[in-house]
């Protein structure tokens, strides 16, 4: 018998954690949202309210779903507030040390049967699971960004992940109305193993002067029918996240084809991380994106 998941804890009230909270609440799950910063939890709740309002305007969500969904999400400023959750999803920044610290502090307060999922986009699930007291109940649950719009969720089993954990996670994704795909536990899994080297190559194309930001993005939008250009997409993902994934690929697979482009490193060092800092390959400060190269 599959363990029933009803209450979801989410650690990290950033872009991904907020999106996961939104889809879980709309699907009828009770949600407890945790973050180091109480202000970020408040901001996340406001973001969910605004996002649901936009979905109502588009006809994607019914008006009567709004209040019940918002009522299902409650602030959980302390890990102790997650004690009765059936599944806790870690959605902190893509930094292994940060994630390890979270699991070390989180595990002692969870009930023994609770599952832990990590929304990591690139880091070894086996390695993360080894820092917990329940590696057999640990699984990678990688949502795509933006969570509310993207249909796919990657499920990644660590070496110790039990079948019951996998089946419970798969059923959970189904209840969200999303499609799961299964990846082996290799650096960056499936989507980012293919997507991020393409973005990195687009940055090399810019770095080597083959084309401008505008030329590269237009070429891939109109020449490969991509919904947005790779540099625009990098800004949307966050250049720090792009760099983290490329570093995981480069270190994990030891192949020079995954070497992060020096220009990507330079932008991250400058703090130009894309949309979230208002500057990346485009400058967003005027309200109209302007290429920065």
* CATH code, domain carrying 266: 1.10.1040.10
On whether residue 2 sits in a domain, the answer given is no
Predicted confidence at residue 69, as pLDDT, reads 97
Do residues 252 and 231 share a domain? Answer: yes
Same domain for 137 and 26, yes or no, is: yes
Say yes or no: 252 and 159 in one domain: no
How confident is the model at residue 4, as a pLDDT?
A: 83
**2 pLDDT above the threshold of 70:** no
For residue range 107-129, list pLDDT tens digits in order.
Answer: 999 999 999 999 999 999 999 99
Residue 271 to residue 44: CA distance in whole angstroms: 23
Q: Are residues 131 and 222 in the same domain?
A: no
136 with 252, same domain: the answer is: no
Asked if 31 and 141 sit in the same domain, the reply is yes
Is 249 among the domain residues?
Answer: yes
> Residue 1 falls within a domain, yes or no?
no
Considering the domain architecture, whether residues 11 and 112 belong to the same structural domain is answered as yes
Per the structure, how many domains does the chain have?
2
State pLDDT tens for residues 230-289: 999 999 999 999 999 999 999 999 999 999 999 999 999 999 999 999 999 999 999 999
* Reported pTM: 0.92
Q: What is the 3-state secondary structure (H, E, C) of 212-253?
A: CHHHHHHHHHHHCCCCCCHHHHHHHHCHHHHHHHHHHHHHHH
Domain that holds residue 132: 7-183
Last residue within a domain, chosen from 134, 167, 183: 183
* Catalytic site positions: 121, 142, 154, 192
- Out of 125, 154, 183, a domain closes at 183
Residues 211, 176 share a domain: no
- Residue 225's CB is within 10 A of a number of other CB atoms, namely 7
Q: Quick one: 153 and 199 in the same domain?
A: no
Assess whether pLDDT exceeds 90 at residue 19: yes
Claim to verify: residue 29 and residue 158 sit in the same structural domain: yes
Using DSSP's 3-state secondary structure scheme, residue 160 falls into coil
Are 45 and 171 found together in one domain?
yes
Q: Are residues 169 and 112 in the same domain?
A: yes
Residue 274 DSSP symbol: B
Of all helices (H) and strands (E), which one includes residue 155? strand 152-157
Rounded percentage of the chain residues whose pLDDT exceeds 90 = 98
Of the three residues 163, 183, 203, the one that is the final residue of a domain is 183
């Amino acid at each position: 018998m599959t363990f029933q998941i009803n209450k979801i804890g989410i650690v990290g009230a950033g872009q991904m954690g907020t999106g996961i909270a939104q889809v879980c609440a709309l699907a009828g799950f009770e949600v407890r949202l945790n973050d180091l910063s109480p202000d970020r939890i408040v901001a996340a709740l406001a973001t969910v309210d605004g996002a649901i309002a936009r979905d109502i305007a588009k006809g994607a969500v019914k008006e009567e779903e709004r209040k019940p969904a918002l009522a299902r999400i409650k602030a959980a400023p302390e890990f102790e507030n997650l004690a009765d959750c059936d599944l806790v999803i870690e959605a902190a920044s893509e930094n292994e040390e940060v994630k390890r610290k979270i699991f070390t502090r989180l595990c002692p307060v969870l009930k023994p049967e609770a599952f832990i999922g990590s929304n990591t986009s690139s880091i070894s699930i086996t390695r993360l699971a080894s820092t917990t007291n329940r590696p057999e109940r640990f699984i990678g649950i990688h949502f795509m960004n933006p969570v509310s719009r993207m249909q796919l969720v990657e499920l990644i089993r660590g070496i110790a992940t039990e079948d019951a954990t996998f089946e419970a996670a798969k059923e959970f994704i189904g209840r969200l109305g999303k499609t799961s795909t299964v990846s082996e536990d290799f650096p960056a899994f499936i989507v980012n193993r293919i997507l991020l080297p393409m973005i990195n190559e687009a940055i090399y194309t810019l770095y080597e002067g083959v084309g401008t930001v505008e030329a590269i993005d237009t070429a891939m939008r109109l020449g490969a029918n991509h919904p947005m250009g790779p540099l625009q997409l990098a800004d949307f993902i966050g250049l720090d996240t792009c760099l983290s994934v490329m570093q995981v690929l480069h270190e994990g697979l030891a192949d020079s084809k995954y070497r992060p482009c020096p220009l990507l490193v330079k932008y991250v060092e400058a703090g130009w991380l894309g949309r979230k800092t208002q500057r990346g390959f485009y400058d967003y400060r005027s309200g109209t994106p302007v290429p920065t190269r």
